[in-house]
Amino acid sequence: MLVLFETSVGYAIFKVLNEKKLQEVDSLWKEFETPEKANKIVKLKHFEKFQDTAEALAGLVFPHVMRGEKWLN
């Protein structure tokens, strides 16, 4: 399973290493308290940095515009 995570500087795609942990929704936050714990659950596969502020805002204001981008396909 892959997870898409948007930050203020770009998009990150993570591979979930332990899907069983995702089922424990009430305590899931505990698995991300430290980088070491998080690395047992997910692995960064790709990070795509926004080129500039305009690109970041375009994705926020007009998400349908970003769907055609190669890195989101």
Q: Tens digits of per-residue pLDDT, 13-27?
A: 999 998 888 888 888
Residues 6+ apart with CB under 8 A from 56: 8, 9, 10, 50
Domain ranges of the chain: 2-72
Complete DSSP assignment for 15-73:
EES-HHHHT-GGGGGGGGSSHHHHTTTEEEEEEEE-SSHHHHHHHHH-HHHHTTSGGG-
Question: Residue 33 pLDDT more than 90?
Answer: yes
**Rounded Cα gap, residues 31 and 41, in angstroms:** 7
Q: Tens digits of per-residue pLDDT, 50-73?
A: 887 777 666 665 555 555 555 554
